Chain A
């Protein structure tokens, strides 16, 4: 078992936009190293704002965010992004260079690393992400969405942050592509030890990959706990206007049938059915 300690602590965080919108109210949470968290909620619930506070893009209006011992109010953005990486939802917003190699090198170059270090980090990131050599000199614009996302993730990885926040990894992807990117994030978490936070409203994906769910609505955290637990808290989920995956709904519908209300996948459901049938 890995030794866990709190890597991120958020205490009474409030965030208000310049035009007066209250985007976050009294947020309290702790994130340990090695977690795989899904941040769920409707559009406008505050998920993206919270993420941008965590990586230092936004400073709290009130309250504190401490990452790896650094308080975000007293640290520069550069210090923060070296610890918490954020991959934007639309890769097009963050591709600035003419070829993929330079794109991934953009981050390390910004933080003034030597040429050898830059090269080392880029190669490392390319390796982890699995970008075939053919694409290194290609312009990111012409790549498929899945590949562009990988380049975007690689360019964040090159900064070697411990925490990686990915905004909507599966939107617009078909099922196979979604599973690929999620398996990749799972590898980052299990093989390389990164803490992964995904922002999503794809509930089946949450059920399959996330070990912890933080559900937000109207600028507050409504639920925070292991996935299986949160999916049984139906009143809370109602407030976020999200429903558990169909398979979970099936299992929860009629307790007298004997299915575990914390079921997350079709495989689990089938297993239980076979047991019930006395197999």
Chain B
């Protein structure tokens, strides 16, 4: 099993044959698709397509269950923001009045449009993180010539996050070992106590950062001066090469994007007015 940022993927997954840049490209471009599509039917279709990709990549589908509560709470927030807290317009069609709040069709429609736009974006991100190891992200960034400093800082952030999480666990145990029991205490008390976690975490990071800087310097990393302008061999990239299917994927993704734009702006597809799902919903609610 290989550990990716969000879970484990079996070693035999086809996703590993794909160059990390293609995965990054997929993430960046396909996340844009929903921005041009307002009809929820199409966006739901996109979510299904991404789920199929996840299944082909042999991502552990059980991990998707984690996102169900996220999806529900997010949907509720969006729905409430648009309907209860949203404004009105004289031409809006009133659907119902519940507990003194007006529910307008246009608001419900807008909420659904936004929700089904955000959903595929999240799923694309989840797909990317579930199939990429930290190294893949670094490789993807370097293959598009993002400056080394940036990719390195990014890698460091990932690394530190891991270390901080480990420390956090130990600190929590240390607190418990000193009789800290949050059960049955007031919220301000709990907040104050949790803030105390920060103290040892800071202390640990401070101590490590001194040694860390020393280690960087000792490895010849020059922040300024002649040696900081050295051309890096980027050895890591030698493990990855673009195969034919990588170019095919990149082309397909690009073509799909261009086609999307053409159909959207040239022929007016993907608009919410044409959505049969919306039409069905509208009739059901009237």
Contact = CB atoms under 8 A, between A and B. Distances in A.
Quick check: do A and B touch in the complex, using CB within 8 A?
yes
A176 B194 CA distance: 38
B167 to A, nearest CB: 7
B143 to A, nearest CB: 33
Interface in A77-110: 77-78, 81-82, 85-86, 88, 90, 92-97, 106-107, 110
Contact of B170 (A78, A88, A107): A88
Nearest to A76: B181
Contacts of A55: 177
A236 interface: no
Interface string B199-221: 11001101100000000000000
A78 B174 contact: no
Contacts of B177: 55, 57, 81, 85-86, 88, 94, 156
A78 B171 contact: no
Nearest to B177: A86
A81 B170 contact: no
Contacts of A107: 178-179
Interface in B40-67: none
B170 A97 contact: no
Interface string A109-142: 0110000000000000000000000000000010
Contact of B178 (A52, A92, A110): A110
A185 interface: no
B273 interface: no
B178 A93 contact: no
Interface string B163-177: 000010011011111
Contacts of A52: 173
A110 B204 contact: no
Contacts of B175: 94, 96
B167 A94 contact: no
Nearest to A84: B177
B265 interface: no
A197 to B, nearest CB: 14
A97 B175 CA distance: 12
B174 A81 contact: no
B203 A94 contact: no
Contacts of B173: 52, 57, 88
Nearest to A82: B179
Interface string A51-92: 010010100000000000000000011100110011010101
Interface residues of A, number: 26
A111 B200 CA distance: 21
Contact of B176 (A57, A82, A92, A96): A57
A236 B175 CA distance: 36
Given A88-B170, A88-B174, A93-B170, A78 B207 contact: no
A52 B208 CA distance: 26
B179 A94 contact: no
Contact of A96 (B199, B204, B206, B207): B199
A81 B178 contact: yes
A159 B203 contact: no
A45 interface: no
A170 interface: no
B260 to A, nearest CB: 42
Contacts of A110: 178-181
Contacts of A155: 178
Contact of B200 (A85, A86, A93): A93
B196 interface: yes
Interface of A: 52, 55, 57, 76-78, 81-82, 85-86, 88, 90, 92-97, 106-107, 110-111, 141, 155-156, 159
Interface of B: 167, 170-171, 173-181, 196-197, 199-200, 203-204, 206-207
The 8 closest A-B pairs by CB, nearest first: A94-B174, A110-B179, A107-B178, A111-B179, A96-B196, A93-B170, A86-B177, A92-B203
7 contacts: A57-B173, A77-B179, A88-B174, A94-B174, A141-B203, A141-B206, A155-B178
